[in-house]
Amino acid sequence: MYLAGLSAELSNAIGYGIGLMVSYVMHKVFTFNSDRPHREAFVRFLVVFAVAYAANLLVLVILVRGLGVHEAVSQVIASAVYVITSFIMNKLYVFRQPHDDAK
């Protein structure tokens, strides 16, 4: 942000974009060793990201605003929801081998 003279918002968006790309490649290659075509897998990956983020945000709002749970504790719980949701959906939907779809 400071070195490139970018705004906080633009820096955040760029960082998030890079993070998503790295996460996609690492999951495709190392975590799930998937041979699903990139175009199909990446679109699915973005859908999973959106669903997992929505679940994270929903849990966070319910805990903080609805139940009065401390913000830091709520962030930890909401982050766990994101990780679990994302992993399960990536395993079963995004990086499931194409030949498994016929089963």
Within a domain: residue 7? no
Question: What would the pLDDT profile of 1-17 be if each residue is shown by its tens digit?
Answer: 788 888 887 888 898 89
Within a domain: residue 79? yes
Tokens linked to 42: 């990446």
Within a domain: residue 55? yes
Within a domain: residue 24? no
Give the Cα separation of 32 and 79 in Å (integer). 21
Question: What would the pLDDT profile of 54-96 be if each residue is shown by its tens digit?
Answer: 999 999 999 999 999 999 999 999 999 999 999 999 999 999 8
Q: How many domains does the chain have?
A: 1
Please give the residue range of the domain that contains residue 79.
Answer: 35-102
